[in-house]
Structure 1
Amino acid sequence: MSMSTPMLVTFLIYIGAMLLIGFIAWRSTKNFDDYILGGRSLGSLVTALSAGASDMSGWLLMGLPGAIFLSGISESWIAIGLILGAWVNWKLVAGRLRVHTEHNNNALTLPDYFTARFEDNSRTLRIISALVILLFFTIYCASGIVAGARLFESTFGMSYETALWAGAAATILYTLIGGFLAVSWTDTVQASLMIFALIITPVIVVASVGGLSDSLEVIRQKSIENVNMLKGLNVVAIISLMGWGLGYFGQPHILARFMAADSHHTIVKARRIGMAWMILCLAGAVAVGFFGIAYFQNNPAQAGDVNQNGERIFIALTQILFNPWVAGVLLSAILAAVMSTLSCQLLVCSSAITEDLYKAFLRKGASQRELVWVGRLMVLVVALVAIALAANPQNRVLGLVSYAWAGFGAAFGPVVLFSVMWNRMTRNGALAGMIIGAITVVVWKQNAWLDLYEIIPGFIFASVGIVVFSLLDKAPSSAMAKRFAEADAQYKGDTPVSLQTDS
């Protein structure tokens, strides 16, 4: 039996299991609400692991370990920033957003929520936010497809072009079939697989080098800079790496998990589960890259693939150190990370087109069945565009993710944060924040001013825009103020408030 045969069998079993879940979810998908948000029925465990898995894409097992392997432990500032940002997002936004979307016309999508929250009868907010989603998510989807292609290319010796289609096909299929429930249920399975892979792999790597102290000594001997948290970094560089945490407030695929929880009370337990999962996964990913330095320093003859592309380090270590059957299971974790994020990104893009453009402007009277099928068609269309963007074999996962992450973090993050925290925010403030944030990211990215990650100026300028334009605007209407007060009271548990569905 060849090296790749057990892996191929493992991959096929894994993909088959995901498709089976998709078919089961299909039987539970009765209308468009189910397809987009699963009928707001997720419990704490599924909410937590689904949010985590949809957040941590192929970047977790490829981009981050690769960055650590090439530059040393100093790259782990990204992980620290992400942990802080995720915790604040769970604490400040998750429960509030769950309640506020319910009180604002039972909104299913972010554009839907913005339109109802700010009484935007012109629907400008809906159009702008849907376009922002389509722009940055298509780039984000391309990063997932690149990660999947790298996996199939390295594991099975496929050409990049063939691997591109192989890596995307299964994800597209179960997202097409099962919608949000399929994505959320499979995310739970995939999150479990990812944490297993990221705990066991660095342990075996350290053991193969001779233990923790020997591994650290080899890393120091190669370069003492590898263990320096400040290696080559100035204040701006550290702020840029930590700034990744700001992105959480504006990621539609993560915020959708909060909106789909069965109640805001579920969020407290989900936060504890989600943060524990995230910390363990990020620590594992950092350890894979860090101790991988020691392994390949001791075994330079095996370092060919990794020296060409550091993002292949997890794949290379798994293939070298594990029995092919076990390696197949562990490498399925990369496929899990890719599929979990790509599937929910495709779904959010689909919902933006279907709910916020097709239904809102073209077919207001469209039936639930029609919307579900249009949603499925849009999944396919967005996926094909993303595959076209991913066709360049020189693409790097981390580069694509950083651009899309910044775009959402700056365009939506301040708007979402202020919308659930500040009752004086207005429609013009939201519109200004969204536009200023998105434009700042695009312009800053092109000019690379100060070597500062574009999410930071984007987030700051968008926040200033929200405050200035809201204060210059007339005060929110009494109906808007009432809805905010009722949602805020329900979240804080001050009064038992029944569901409001007026806009």
Structure 2
Amino acid sequence: MSVSNPTLITFVIYIAAMVLIGLMAYRSTNNLSDYILGGRSLGSVVTALSAGASDMSGWLLMGLPGAIYMSGLSESWIAIGLIVGAYLNWLFVAGRLRVQTEHNGDALTLPDYFSSRFEDKSGLLRIISAVVILVFFTIYCASGIVAGARLFESTFGMSYETALWAGAAATIAYTFVGGFLAVSWTDTVQATLMIFALILTPIIVLLATGGIDTTFLAIEAKNPDNFNMLKNTSFIGIISLMGWGLGYFGQPHILARFMAADSVKSIAKARRISMTWMILCLAGTVAVGFFGIAYFSAHPEVAGPVNENHERVFIELAKLLFNPWIAGVLLSAILAAVMSTLSCQLLVCSSALTEDFYKTFLRKNASQVELVWVGRVMVLLVALIAIAMAANPNNRVLGLVSYAWAGFGAAFGPVVLISVIWKQMTRNGALAGILVGAITVIVWKHFELLGLYEIIPGFIFASLAIYIVSKLGAPTAGMVERFDAAEKDYNLNK
């Protein structure tokens, strides 16, 4: 690997810029609220792009284009499900959660919100939800570190061990120093880079393959079923792919963006920006994989790396069709996708450990400066555990991403959604929802029942558990009063 390698230089400049943003955010971080939620100061543009970038990991530029390249448009159902789920999350949860967390003890984390919303004096709700976050997110972080390592390994010819640290170091650095503001500001830059890459690349591929008509004829010649949305699918298969959309209601790293918005008024504008960004990105992702079929059919002599690993389709197209400097920028978009999600996950884990364990159970009177530094140490601790888990590339940790998504979606999704729209929900109902959702996902995944994605039964059973158990009791007068005040505030300001 030459030091003059344009791609390497581009990566170094990009990473240096992200760390510089972290240092700028450091100067705006004065207390735990700043470190965990940016002092609830995010405007609509940063809220929108940060929510999008934190959601879309390396799978956006590697996994999904690869699936489309292999199977055609039948793999695009997952994109449709994600768009529907994200829109409903913005519509029903975003604004209400922003107000409810403020009215319920100015909660900084999901466990904190659950504990205040349902007046859980025992701490059981906080502990169980914080444990769910730590277990699933440590696995999630490990998968992001593996994805980053694979990118460095394939782009620069590094050993896996070196690539592992290279991919993780920059993300850890700016998250450690700048906290939530650094993560949100860098997410905005990364979201811009991702959409640039996903709009430009399919256009250039189209031009390289002779335009739309020629490209479509080449794809059809390769396999006419590439255009068939129902190829090799079943009703359960389509429902399972669409079911990914349910996961949005329970993802702590996405919900944190809603909680950090500067006001409810910012949410509507942020929703429009975020959904436009998301639809364009997913359309670009599908187009990269789909048009890639035509390109590599016409150029079989360079198709070896993609045939060996279809998830490299975006990487190979960027290398083959662009000037090395532009290719470096496009490949930085993959790093951006990995870093944006990994940084959010590290911060949510740090928040759970600092706010929900350290401050609540160990040091109730800890100073703000102490809590911020504990938060930074926790980022480092979680990152090191995740790196240790990712050290063996054969442990297939990337395959657990869908498991973690289902776990959060079923354990937290119904609790969050119902807690912001139904004032009769009780503390025991919330506990039942988290436990039933998490257990259903684990059991369903283990037995692979009906071939149905485990998030769907998990979400349904958790919702039923919340309703039934809540009906067996009643919320306190204080819970109802705070809910009504928050709902009134939301309706006045939305």
Cα shift at 1:393? 2.5
Whole-Å separation in 1 of the counterparts to 2:447 and 2:16 = 45
Counterpart position of 2:380: 380
Cα shift at 1:35? 0.2
Cα shift at 1:389? 2.2
* Cα 1:415–1:141 shift into 2, 3 Å: same
Quick check: 86-95 or 302-311, which moved more? 302-311
Cα shift at 1:3? 9.9
* Cα 1:210–1:398 shift into 2, 3 Å: farther
Contact 1:37 1:180 in 2 (8 A): yes
Counterpart position of 1:138: 138
Quick check: 386-395 or 305-314, which moved more? 386-395
Contact 2:194 2:334 in 1 (8 A): yes
Cα shift at 1:113? 0.1
Contact 1:4 1:156 in 2 (8 A): no
Note the 1:385-400 alignment, pairs <5 A: 385-394=385-394, 399-400=399-400
Cα shift at 1:371? 0.9
Q: Deviations over 1:282-336 (max 9, x none)?
A: 0001111111111111122212221222111111111111111000001100111
What amino acid is the match of 2:480? A
What amino acid is the match of 1:399? G
Whole-Å separation in 2 of the counterparts to 1:396 and 1:60 = 18
Note the 1:157-196 alignment, pairs <5 A: 157-196=157-196
Quick check: 139-148 or 320-329, which moved more? 139-148
Counterpart position of 1:491: 490
Contact 1:146 1:396 in 2 (8 A): no
Would you say how many aligned residue pairs link Structure 1 and Structure 2? Answer: 494
What amino acid is the match of 1:37? L
Whole-Å separation in 2 of the counterparts to 1:2 and 1:297 = 31
Whole-Å separation in 1 of the counterparts to 2:281 and 2:395 = 24
Counterpart position of 1:100: 100
Q: Deviations over 1:453-490 (max 9, x none)?
A: 111011011001100111112x1111110000010111
Q: Deviations over 1:231-267 (max 9, x none)?
A: 1000000000000000000000000000000011110
Counterpart position of 1:240: 240
Counterpart position of 2:337: 337
Counterpart position of 1:60: 60
Whole-Å separation in 1 of the counterparts to 2:411 and 2:47 = 24
Whole-Å separation in 2 of the counterparts to 1:439 and 1:383 = 26
* Pair 1:479 & 2:478 matched: yes
Contact 2:390 2:397 in 1 (8 A): no
* Cα 1:380–1:458 shift into 2, 3 Å: same
Q: Secondary structure at the match of 1:28?
A: coil
Quick check: 305-314 or 38-47, which moved more? 305-314
Contact 1:58 1:147 in 2 (8 A): yes
Q: Secondary structure at the match of 2:61?
A: helix
Counterpart position of 2:359: 359
Cα shift at 1:162? 1.6
Counterpart position of 1:500: none
Whole-Å separation in 2 of the counterparts to 1:204 and 1:4 = 26
Whole-Å separation in 2 of the counterparts to 1:398 and 1:161 = 17
Whole-Å separation in 1 of the counterparts to 2:215 and 2:132 = 45
Contact 1:183 1:344 in 2 (8 A): yes
Whole-Å separation in 2 of the counterparts to 1:397 and 1:195 = 27
What amino acid is the match of 2:236? V
Counterpart position of 1:276: 276
Whole-Å separation in 1 of the counterparts to 2:137 and 2:162 = 23
Cα shift at 1:340? 0.7
Counterpart position of 1:150: 150
Q: Deviations over 1:193-237 (max 9, x none)?
A: 000000000111111111111111111111111111001000000
- Normalising by structure 1, we get a TM-score of 0.96
Counterpart position of 1:459: 459
Calculate the aligned-residue CA RMSD, in Å.
1.4
The unaligned stretches of length 5 or more in structure 2 are: none
Amino-acid identity (%): 74
Counterpart position of 2:253: 253
Counterpart position of 2:28: 28
Note the 1:436-451 alignment, pairs <5 A: 436-451=436-451
* Pair 1:323 & 2:323 matched: yes
The unaligned stretches of length 5 or more in structure 1 are: 497-503
What amino acid is the match of 1:492? N
* Cα 1:173–1:345 shift into 2, 3 Å: same
Q: Secondary structure at the match of 1:72?
A: helix
Cα shift at 1:350? 0.3
Whole-Å separation in 1 of the counterparts to 2:344 and 2:283 = 24
Whole-Å separation in 1 of the counterparts to 2:169 and 2:209 = 38
Q: Secondary structure at the match of 2:289?
A: helix
Contact 2:53 2:340 in 1 (8 A): yes
Cα shift at 1:160? 1.9
Whole-Å separation in 2 of the counterparts to 1:147 and 1:323 = 24
What amino acid is the match of 1:415? V
What amino acid is the match of 1:402? S
Cα shift at 1:37? 0.3
* Cα 1:401–1:199 shift into 2, 3 Å: same
Whole-Å separation in 1 of the counterparts to 2:398 and 2:243 = 15
What amino acid is the match of 2:295? Y
Counterpart position of 1:499: none
Whole-Å separation in 2 of the counterparts to 1:3 and 1:331 = 17
* Cα 1:99–1:191 shift into 2, 3 Å: same
Q: Deviations over 1:19-68 (max 9, x none)?
A: 10000000110111100000000000000000000011111111111111
What amino acid is the match of 2:426? T
Whole-Å separation in 1 of the counterparts to 2:441 and 2:205 = 39
Cα shift at 1:90? 0.3
Cα shift at 1:161? 2.0
Contact 2:139 2:397 in 1 (8 A): no
Cα shift at 1:2? 5.4
Cα shift at 1:452? 0.6
Whole-Å separation in 2 of the counterparts to 1:6 and 1:234 = 46
Whole-Å separation in 1 of the counterparts to 2:218 and 2:160 = 34
Contact 2:407 2:455 in 1 (8 A): yes
